[in-house]
Amino acid sequence: KAAPGTGSPSKERGDCPFTQRVFLELEELGLPYTATYIQEGPNKPHWFMVKNPTGLMPVLRVGET
């Protein structure tokens, strides 16, 4: 989840505890990742909705899955 008012996608992480837990797990396991922050609400980017039709967050993508 993006920080409020920072755009979508954004480079600023918001305060979602679920997203923070994902980051903690990735860091603890030492797994490489690339983060993309999306603002909640009705204006999610089209490419995001194509890859994730439910629009729910956080999302973890592994390869094309």
Active site residue ranges = 16
DSSP letters for 23-46 = HHHHHHHT------B--SSS---H
Most distant pair of Cα atoms in the chain: their distance: 33
What three-state secondary structure class fits 2? Answer: strand
